[in-house]
C-alpha cells in the first residue's frame, strides 16, 4: 500500500480517522481555552482588586502553573484525578479502580495551564486601560457594575486580544501532550496509525501538517479579529 | 496527613533526574542560540533565498507541537534505519538523548530567532547611523552597537524562552528518558500518590526557573549600565 493511499480516504486509509482526531484536538483546545478564560479572568480580578489572601492565592496559581512543565500537570490530574475519584467512590461503597474521562482530564489541565497565562494577559491589558475613560464613566454617573460592563471589560478585551492569540497558539500545541492519557486526539491517532502500519514517518508528518494548518488558520482568524477590534482607532 | 518520609524519598529519587534535565536545557539553549543567530541573520540578510529558508524553518517549528517534532525525529526517522546506517548516522538517531536534544534545539532555535530579530529591528536607526558616521566597519558596528543594544532589548523575552526550554525538557520523558518528569511519572505509577510527587517535582522545576529569572535580572543590570542606580558614595 502506497503512502498516499495509507493516508487517503479509501478503504484502509487513515485520512478520515486523522481528520476526526484533528476535530477532537480542536474541541479539546476550545474547552481548555474557555475554562482558561474563566480561571484567568478570576485570577486577574483577584490579583488586581482582591483582598490580600485572594491576591496571594492568584499570584501563587499563576506562578506555579507557569513554572511547572505542562506534562507534569497532566500527569497530576490524570493519575491524581483517578485516585481522588476512587477515594470518593470508596465513601459510597464502591471498591476498585475508577477511571477519569481523558477528554475532561485534558480539558481541565489545559484550562488550568492556559488560565495562568490568560491571567497575566488580562492583568497587562487592565494596566493599559486609560484611567480617563473610567473617570469619564464615573463622571456621567455610572455605577461600578455598569463601568465594568460597558467600559473596562470592552477595553481590556481589545487590548488582550493579541496576547490571547498567543495563549491559544500555545494551548493548541500543548493539547498534543494530552495524548499521554490515551485520549485519541490528533497525535494519539497518528501514534495508533504508526503502530499498526509500522510506518511512523508519514503519520507523524501528516499530524504535523494538520497542526500547522490549524495554527495557521487560527492565526489568520485572530489577525482579522484584532483588525476588527481596532477599527476606528488611529 | 503529610508523609515526610515519602516526600524525602521522592525528593532523593527525583534528584537523580536533575543532571539530565539541566544537561538537556543547557545543550538546547546553547545550540539553539547558535541556530537562532543563523536563522535571524538569514531573515535580516535581505537575500531572498536565505530569508525564505529561515522563514520556513521558523514557521514550521513554531507552528507544530514539540511532541510531534520529537516523535517525528525519534520514531519517524527510525523507519529509515537502513538508510541512516548506510549514511553512518544511525548511532545518533538511535539514542533518545540525541533525538531529544536535536528536537529541543530545533524548536527553541525557531522561537529564539524571532526574539533576536525583534531585538535587532528595535535598535534605533540613529545609533547605527552615528556609528557609521564615525567610520566603524560593519563588523565593529555589529559588535559595539547593534548586538549590545539588541541583546538588551531581547533579554526579557529570551529569559522566558529559556524557562520554556526547561519546561520542554519534560517531553524527553515520553521517549523513555528518565529526567525529572520521567522519574516523577514512574514514582506516581508505583505509589499512586500523584499530589506528593507533583509537589516534589514541581519544587525542582520552580527552583530551576527562579534561578534563571535571577540570572536574567543579573544580565539585565550588566547589559544596561545606564539604567543602574548609582552606587552610594
State the alpha helices, DSSP H only, in A50-101. 52-67, 70-75, 81-91
What span, in angstroms and rounded, lies between the C-alpha atoms of B106 and B31?
9
Domain boundaries, chain B: 4-224
- B209 neighbourhood in chain A, CB within 8 Å: 67
Domain A25-229 - what CATH class?
mainly alpha
Q: Once rounded to an integer, what is the mean pLDDT over residues B81-88? A: 92
- Whole-model pTM: value is 0.90
Q: What confidence tens digit (pLDDT) does each residue in A33-86 have?
A: 999 999 999 999 999 988 999 999 999 999 999 999 999 999 999 988 877 877
Nearest CA in chain B to A201: B76
Q: Which residues of chain B are within 8 Å of residue A205 when distances are taken between CB atoms?
A: 72, 76
CATH class of B4-224: mainly alpha
Contacts of B157 in chain A (CB under 8 A): none
Calpha distance A100→A97 (Å, rounded): 10
Instruction: Look up the ipTM and state it.
Output: 0.88
Q: Do B76 and A204 touch (CB under 8 A)?
A: yes
b (16+ CB within 10 A) / e for A173-191: bbbbbbbbbebbbbbbbbb
B214 touches chain A (CB under 8 A): no
CB nearest B195 (choices: A70, A80, A177) = A80
Would you call B171 an interface residue with chain A, using a CB distance cutoff of 8 Å?
Answer: yes
pLDDT reading at A129 higher than 70: yes
CB contact, 8 Å: B193 with chain A?
yes
Q: What is the mean pLDDT of residues B155-169?
A: 94
DSSP per residue, A149-169:
IIIIHHHHHHHHHHHHHHHHH
- Contact A78/A100 with Cβ under 8 angstroms? yes
B21 contact A CB<8A: no
Cα distance between residue B64 and residue A214, in whole Å: 9
Choose among A49, A40, A39, A54: nearest CA to A144: A49
How far B41 CA sits from the closest chain A CA (Å)?
24
Query: What is the per-residue pLDDT across B19-78, written as a single tens digit (0 to 9) for each?
Result: 999 999 999 999 999 999 999 999 999 999 999 999 999 999 999 999 999 999 999 999
Q: What pLDDT is stored for residue A1 in this prediction?
A: 60
Amino acid at each position: 500500500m502506497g503512502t498516499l493511499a495509507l493516508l487517503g480516504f479509501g478503504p484502509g486509509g487513515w485520512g478520515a480517522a486523522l481528520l476526526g482526531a484533528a476535530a477532537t484536538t480542536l474541541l479539546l483546545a476550545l474547552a481548555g481555552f474557555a475554562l482558561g478564560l474563566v480561571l484567568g479572568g478570576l485570577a486577574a480580578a483577584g490579583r488586581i482588586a482582591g483582598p490580600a489572601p485572594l491576591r496571594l492565592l492568584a499570584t501563587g496559581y499563576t506562578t506555579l502553573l507557569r513554572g511547572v512543565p505542562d506534562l507534569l500537570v497532566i500527569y497530576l490530574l490524570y493519575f491524581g484525578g483517578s485516585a481522588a475519584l476512587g477515594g470518593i467512590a470508596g465513601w459510597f461503597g464502591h471498591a476498585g479502580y475508577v477511571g477519569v474521562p481523558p477528554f475532561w482530564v485534558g480539558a481541565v489541565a489545559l484550562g488550568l495551564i492556559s488560565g495562568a497565562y490568560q491571567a497575566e494577559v488580562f492583568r497587562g491589558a487592565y494596566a493599559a486601560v486609560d484611567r480617563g475613560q473610567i473617570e469619564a464613566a464615573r463622571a456621567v454617573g455610572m455605577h461600578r457594575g455598569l463601568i465594568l460592563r460597558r467600559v473596562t471589560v470592552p477595553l481590556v478585551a481589545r487590548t488582550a486580544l493579541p496576547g490571547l492569540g498567543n495563549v491559544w497558539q500555545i494551548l493548541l500545541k500543548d493539547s498534543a501532550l494530552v495524548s499521554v492519557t490515551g485520549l485519541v486526539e490528533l497525535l494519539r491517532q497518528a501514534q495508533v496509525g504508526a503502530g499498526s502500519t509500522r510506518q511512523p514517518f508519514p503519520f507523524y508528518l501528516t499530524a504535523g501538517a494538520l497542526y500547522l494548518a490549524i495554527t495557521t488558520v487560527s492565526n489568520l482568524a485572530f489577525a482579522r479579529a484584532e483588525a476588527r477590534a481596532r477599527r476606528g482607532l488611529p | 496527613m503529610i508523609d515526610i518520609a515519602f516526600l524525602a524519598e521522592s525528593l532523593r529519587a527525583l534528584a537523580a533526574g536533575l543532571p539530565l534535565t539541566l544537561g538537556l536545557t543547557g545543550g538546547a539553549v546553547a545550540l539553539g542560540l547558535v541556530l537562532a543567530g543563523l536563522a535571524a541573520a538569514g531573515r535580516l540578510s535581505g537575500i531572498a533565498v536565505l530569508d525564505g529558508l529561515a522563514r520556513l524553518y521558523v514557521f514550521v517549528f513554531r507552528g507544530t507541537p514539540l511532541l510531534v517534532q520529537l516523535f517525528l525525529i525519534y520514531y519517524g526517522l527510525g523507519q529509515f534505519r537502513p538508510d541512516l546506517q548506510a549514511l553512518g548516522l544511525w548511532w545518533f538517531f538511535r539514542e533518545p538523548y540525541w533525538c531529544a536534544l536535536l528536537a529541543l534545539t530545533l524548536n527553541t532555535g525557531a522561537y529564539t530567532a524571532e526574539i533576536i530579530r525583534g531585538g535587532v529591528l528595535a535598535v534605533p536607526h540613529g545609533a547605527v547611523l552615528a556609528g557609521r558616521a564615525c567610520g566603524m566597519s560593519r563588523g565593529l558596528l555589529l559588535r559595539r552597537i547593534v548586538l549590545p543594544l539588541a541583546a538588551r532589548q531581547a533579554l526579557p523575552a529570551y529569559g522566558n524562552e529559556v524557562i520554556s526550554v526547561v519546561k520542554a525538557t519534560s517531553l524527553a520523558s515520553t521517549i523513555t528518558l528518565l529526567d525529572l518528569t520521567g522519574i516523577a511519572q514512574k514514582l506516581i505509577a508505583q505509589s499512586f500518590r500523584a499530589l506528593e510527587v507533583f509537589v516534589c517535582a514541581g519544587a525542582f522545576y520552580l527552583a530551576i526557573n527562579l534561578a534563571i529569572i535571577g540570572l536574567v535580572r543579573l544580565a539585565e543590570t550588566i547589559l544596561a549600565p545606564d539604567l543602574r542606580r548609582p552606587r552610594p558614595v
